[in-house]
Structure 1
Amino acid sequence: MNGLNLGPGHGAEVAANLAILLYAQRGGQTVYGTVHPISNDDDRPTIGAGRPIDRAALIGCLNELAQNAAPRAEFLPETVLAVSQSAVIWWCRPGLRRVFFECRELGKRTAIVPHPGLVFYAASRGFSVFALQEDSRPTPESTLHEPPYFNTWDFGKICIGSAHVPKRIDIESIAGWECGFFESAFTHPNHGGKRVNHPKSEFAFWKAMLDGEYPGEFPKDLLIPMNATLADLIRGKLGD
């Protein structure tokens, strides 16, 4: 093949300049790969000698392809705050949701309780959640707060454990990520910083929540602010 025209909007005709060969055991998974330069002398492509492909080169090639791929128009719901090739950030309105607990201190309990506004971050490097003071859609300047939940680490990271979460990270999977968080049992507070500003403990706070002592809305005065904003999260500066 001498060249390829990618159609309107893609500029001039392109030609092959690199080939990747993948090797697999018979009936098995890919175990080895080589990359080969392609010469186009006399308009006849020729695959040259190969060299072992490394992880960095393969990721670089895939990133270039992703950047040059034709964009697909997609409707963005109001709750979506930011989207990239490897992450989705969205807002969850404050309201009533059921929670599940299964731990020695609180027993096996479930109840519908109020939650603050939340920001979720699903990415190839993990799943995180943050609390908000405001009830409306956050802005880049909105301060993030510690998630007042068990099973979370510093910087909002969620311990997924046995939770069932989607394999995909895209707008269509948002509901699945939320279900994976809310429908899993909270089992323990993780090590790290304080998650909620209760005078006794996180156990005392959640016992009060489960007993219906905060029936109207989440007690936002107990949220602990982080030294970070939504803009920091979007720019990937959180936890650096």
Structure 2
Amino acid sequence: MNIINDLFKDVYRPVKVIAVYQSQLDQSFYTESLDMDDTGQMINPHPLSLTEANLLADTLNTSDELRQDFLISKGLLPENILFINSTKDGNVIWYTPEMQVDLLFKPELTIADGRANIPALVWKASKNSLSVYALSCNERPGLETKLFYAPFFNIYTDGRVCMGNVKINIDPKCSLEDFVEKWQGYFFASTFSHLLGSGSPVKGNIIELWQKLVGSKRKFPLKQLKSTSKTLKSIIR
């Protein structure tokens, strides 16, 4: 109750006005700052100074909606991170080496759920979308590294993943490490159900491929990956 009373007692008075002017000739802008006296009159018009601009930026950045805490690392950058755009609507590109994971399949595919070896992958994710590609070698990719179609169901030919009914919940202040972990968790927790596009993302029969791999210790046959027209450089933006 005391906090509410204090809010009503607090009085904010205008002390400065920021005016933005736009040229009618070349669409350029000019920003002016005006002080306000005790009577509420605008005085001392002058170009917005660097100090005033920084103060305005700091003031705006205290807002939860405008804070740029998205994709900030908890420490040193993980070695598998390839690219970060940490703006409010940014994205991350990372890779994972060959590994064994648990996979889920719709019964109609006649593939048992279970663990299987998968190739190295390149991931690109924003707050609400995910794209996945495969690598033909088990090492950190460079800018000119060719990308291959990810050998899974539920993926469009451009790499975008259809997450189906998986509920995506990425916090606006999500750390880099948690962001990567969440997206990988969402992907492998989803049930693979169907192909998207006109053909198979692998050479040969994709159903037979996973029937052989799931529950075995066989390495993923990299020779069955299909090449895309993309390189790592082409998906950085």
TM-score class normalised by the smaller sequence: 0.5 to 0.7
Instruction: Name 1:75's counterpart in structure 2.
Output: 76
Shift of the 2–70 alpha-carbon distance from structure 1 to 2, 3 Å rule, reads: farther
Q: How does 1:156-195 map to 2 (within 5 A)?
A: 156-168=159-171, 171=176, 172-195=178-201
8 Å contact from structure 2 (residues 132, 160) kept in 1: yes
Cα distance in 2 for partners of 1:129, 1:173 equals: 15
8 Å contact from structure 2 (residues 136, 222) kept in 1: yes
How far does residue 95 in structure 1 lie from its aligned partner after superposition?
Answer: 1.1
Shift of the 75–164 alpha-carbon distance from structure 1 to 2, 3 Å rule, reads: farther
Instruction: Say whether 1:145 aligns with 2:148.
Output: yes
Cα distance in 2 for partners of 1:181, 1:69 equals: 28
* Equivalent residue in structure 2 for 1:97, among 101, 106, 130: 101
8 Å contact from structure 2 (residues 147, 230) kept in 1: yes
Shift of the 103–191 alpha-carbon distance from structure 1 to 2, 3 Å rule, reads: farther
How far does residue 192 in structure 1 lie from its aligned partner after superposition?
Answer: 3.4
How big is each residue's C-alpha offset from its partner over 1:57-104, in whole Å with a ceiling of 9 and x where there is no partner? xxxxxxxx89x9889675310111111021011111111111111131
Shift of the 145–16 alpha-carbon distance from structure 1 to 2, 3 Å rule, reads: same
Amino acid at match of 1:196: V
How far does residue 125 in structure 1 lie from its aligned partner after superposition?
Answer: 6.2
Q: Which has the higher contact order (CA 8 A, sep 6+)?
A: 2
Q: RMSD of the alignment, in Å? A: 3.2
Cα distance in 1 for partners of 2:189, 2:215 equals: 19
8 Å contact from structure 2 (residues 127, 170) kept in 1: no
8 Å contact from structure 1 (residues 98, 111) kept in 2: yes
Secondary structure in 2 aligned to 1:216?
A: coil
Shift of the 124–166 alpha-carbon distance from structure 1 to 2, 3 Å rule, reads: closer
TM-score normalised by structure 2 residue count = 0.66
Secondary structure in 1 aligned to 2:187?
A: helix
Secondary structure in 2 aligned to 1:129?
A: strand
Amino acid at match of 2:236: I
Cα distance in 1 for partners of 2:113, 2:41 equals: 66
Secondary structure in 2 aligned to 1:207?
A: helix
Amino acid at match of 2:146: T
Structure 1 residues not aligned, in runs of 5+: 4-14, 19-37, 48-64, 236-240
Q: Kindly, what percent of the aligned residue pairs are identical?
A: 24
Q: How does 1:206-221 map to 2 (within 5 A)?
A: 206-210=210-214, 212=216, 215-221=217-223
Instruction: Name 1:129's counterpart in structure 2.
Output: 132
Instruction: Name 1:56's counterpart in structure 2.
Output: none
Cα distance in 1 for partners of 2:166, 2:212 equals: 25
Cα distance in 2 for partners of 1:153, 1:70 equals: 31
Cα distance in 2 for partners of 1:89, 1:211 equals: 30
Deviates further, 68-77 or 128-137: 68-77
Structure 2 residues not aligned, in runs of 5+: 1-13, 21-30, 43-59
Amino acid at match of 1:210: V
Instruction: Say whether 1:196 aligns with 2:222.
Output: no
Q: How does 1:40-119 map to 2 (within 5 A)?
A: 43=36, 75-84=76-85, 85=87, 86-106=90-110, 109-119=112-122
Amino acid at match of 1:184: S
Shift of the 105–193 alpha-carbon distance from structure 1 to 2, 3 Å rule, reads: closer
How big is each residue's C-alpha offset from its partner over 1:3-60, in whole Å with a ceiling of 9 and x where there is no partner? 5xxxxxxxxxxx6347xxxxxxxxxxxxxxxxxxx9855646889xxxxxxxxxxxxx
